[in-house]
Amino acid sequence: MEEIDLSWTTNSEKVEMDCRIFKVRSVWREAAENRKGQFTIIDSPDWVTILPIVKNSRGNDCFLIVRQYRHGSASLTKEFPAGMIDPGETPLDAARRELNEETGYLAGKITQIGSINPNPAFMNNTSYTYLAEDLTPGGKMNLDEHEMIDMELVPIDMVAKEMGTAMYNSAITIQAWFWFLKHREKMSS
Of 66 and 189, more confident? 66
Residue 38 has pLDDT above 80, yes or no: yes
User: What tens digit of pLDDT does each residue of 160-185 get?
Assistant: 999 998 888 889 999 999 999 999 99
Residue type, 132: A
Cβ contacts of 47 within 8 Å, gap of 6 or more? 82, 83, 84, 85, 118, 125, 126, 127, 128, 172
96-149 pLDDT, tens digit each: 999 999 999 999 999 999 999 999 999 999 999 999 999 998 867 777 777 777
Average pLDDT, the chain: 92
Superfamily of domain 47-188: Nucleoside Triphosphate Pyrophosphohydrolase (3.90.79.10)
Structure confidence by residue, pLDDT tens digits, 57-105: 899 999 999 998 888 888 888 999 999 999 999 999 999 999 999 999 9
Residue 2: what pLDDT?
Answer: 86
d(C-alpha 35, C-alpha 39), whole Å: 13
Q: What is the pLDDT of residue 147?
A: 74
Q: How confident is the model at residue 187 (pLDDT cuts 50, 70, 90)?
A: confident
Q: What does the pLDDT read at residue 156?
A: 95
CA dist 113 and 5 (Å) reads 33
Q: Where are the domains of the chain?
A: 9-43, 47-188
